[in-house]
Amino acid sequence: MKKIDVIVVGSGTSGLISALSLLNSGYKVLLLEANNNIGGLSKLVKKGRFEFDYSLNNIFIKNDIDDIFKFKNVLRECGINENIKFSSLPDTFKVITRYKNFTIRNGIKNFIEDVEKYVPGSKASVKLFFTLAAECKEAMNYVYEHLDNLDYDYVKKEYNNFMRVANYSVSQVLDIIEMPIEAQEIINVFWIFFGSTETEISFVEYAMFMYNYIENKAQVLTNSSYDIALTLADYFLENGGLLKLNSQVVNLIIDDDKVNGVRLSNGEVYYSDNIIINSSLSNVYGKLIKPEEVPRDALKNINQRAIGARPFSVHLGLNKDYKSLGIKYYNYFLYSSLDSDVAYARMKELSSFSVVATCKNVANEQASCEGTCVLTLSTLFFDDCFALDIDRDNYYDEITKLADDMIDKFEKYTGIKIKDYIEEMEIFSPIDVINVNDSYCGASYGYKLVGLDNLLPRLLNKDNEKYIEGLYICNGFDGDIFAYNSSYMSGLMAALEMKKDSAGDIYGED
């Protein structure tokens, strides 16, 4: 068998995007998937008359910036942009704790006015926050576009404030600009989407997200993330891509610090000098490469990184429409504390957690059949509390108890009664994540954002993580880890990097 131009291992959305992007560029691509279906964590489960999207909290920003790493431009690069439909989110979101609650409108002007209403005297600091956020956004667009030839002197000159805050956390910058604590708590409500607290998340990363989310019209997929995976796979196959399901790669073939191919669990071998793996550094260097062939620097990198959050979700099919139930918002943030460090500490135990409630029908009334709605209650666990407190014997009892506790919390905090209308229920735990993509401890949020292991350092350090020639890694453990956007962008970046390194060296047909 002649060598294949590129082998992509793993058909999650990141791998699919890599595979299709390279196929569109003229490469012969073989896509290998260990399971009998594609999509990875973009999983759609049907129960009765409901469909539950496991990757529901998938928020995208509507803007017209011509940046290849914007989600719609990633889809355009793959040739499927026109096939994916979006629904706009409402202009408000709700935050509720045991002692206070508030409703905030989108649009920077509205947001500043609303925070000032709840926290008199905060207006100037919140306005300054968005001014800094706008500069960070502009600077990062420049960084994305010039990763290969970044002019640091230009960045220092044009984006001075960006350079000043680049190494600071959210809380550090908010303290420096003297934002009142109560206003900081409102600004920081989206911390749970990142799986790290305001004392750990990079200000640049969080500020960019906030600016885009508040200023631009946020959107969600009209249907499901699995639709994107299916569309990518269909285009890949229709245009000559090779897909093999039930093909588990058990190790990489390495020759003189270069990849040469992959070996499957059934003994089959496929050869290529370019391999993209849709998995984490931990899996690649800990499982797929012989210990004696793992570069020392790769091990050092892996050991320095902290494993991120473990998701737990309860998907509810309710036999009453959301308006009749009294659900008004797409997202309800139900926090045990508005201090994210306090909430984070409590989320290391199964008995205490914060919840994000999401009703997709608010953005798309056709998300379920008439007279019904779908409500998803999601939380995160940190540390290994899930593995330590739950075993094979008590698993189902314990996850059902957790689900009941989350339902009780939603009813208590919002005053909206849903128990009597539950027709179907599906629970998605860290164990399910492990079963789908073998993530360590079910940590679908990848490596934790903390210290210098944040978005900007990861981007600028990409070239230093090429430990084996011809090997590229893409997945949600990469980049900024926000929802699934990171996975999409990582897939495209791996393909672009491979194309640059291969310089058009295509082996051709068998």
pLDDT single digits (tens) 321-368: 999 999 999 999 999 899 999 999 989 888 777 999 999 999 999 999
| 1 pLDDT tier (thresholds 50, 70, 90) | low
Pairing of strands 6-9, 29-32: parallel
Residues 57 and 428 sit within 8 Å (Cβ to Cβ): no
Residues 18 and 474 sit within 8 Å (Cβ to Cβ): yes
Cα–Cα dist 285/298, whole Å: 7
Cα–Cα dist 262/468, whole Å: 14
Q: What is the DSSP string of 434-452?
A: HHHH--GGG-TT-B--BTT
Tally of CA atoms within 13 A in the half-sphere of 373 that contains its CB? 24
Report how far Cα 368 is from the mean position of its chain's Cα atoms: 24
Backbone phi and psi for residue 479, each to the nearest 5 degrees, phi listed first: 55, -140
> Tokens representing 177?
């600009």
**210-214, 356-360, 404-408, 504-508: range with lowest mean pLDDT:** 504-508
Predicted confidence (pLDDT) at residue 507 exceeds the cutoff of 70? no
> Tokens representing 53?
């999207």
Among the listed residues 84, 110, 354, the one whose alpha carbon sits nearest the alpha carbon of residue 219: 84
Cα–Cα dist 199/339, whole Å: 10
In three-state secondary structure terms, 382 is coil
* CATH class of segment(s) 6-44+66-84+224-305+448-502: alpha beta
Provide the residue count of the chain: 510
In this prediction the pTM is: 0.89
Per-residue pLDDT of 318-333, as tens digits, reads 999 999 999 999 999 9
**12-26, 227-241, 271-285, 436-450: range with lowest mean pLDDT:** 436-450
- Cα Rg of the chain (Å, integer): 23
Ramachandran bin of 479, using left for φ above 0, alpha for ψ from -120 to 50, beta for the remaining angles? left
**115-129, 180-194, 309-323, 426-440: range with lowest mean pLDDT:** 426-440
**116-120, 178-182, 214-218: range with lowest mean pLDDT:** 214-218
Residues 444 and 310 sit within 8 Å (Cβ to Cβ): yes
What CA dihedral angle connects 42, 468, 459 and 485, to 10 degrees? Answer: -10
**114-118, 339-343, 391-395: range with lowest mean pLDDT:** 391-395
In three-state secondary structure terms, 197 is coil
H-type alpha helices, 93-122? 108-118
- Give, as one character, the DSSP assignment of residue 221: E
Mean pLDDT for 414-428 is 97
The residue with greater pLDDT, 397 or 450, is 397
Ordered by start, the domain boundaries in the chain are 6-44+66-84+224-305+448-502, 106-216, 309-437
Pairing of strands 92-96, 331-334: parallel
Per-residue pLDDT of 53-107, as tens digits, reads 887 656 666 554 445 556 777 887 788 877 788 888 888 899 999 888 999 998 8
Q: Which helix (H) or strand (E) holds 318?
A: strand 310-318
**8-22, 198-212, 322-336, 429-443: range with lowest mean pLDDT:** 429-443
Predicted confidence (pLDDT) at residue 481 exceeds the cutoff of 50? no
- Give, as one character, the DSSP assignment of residue 202: B
Residues 232 and 507 sit within 8 Å (Cβ to Cβ): no
Cα–Cα dist 32/245, whole Å: 6
In three-state secondary structure terms, 425 is strand
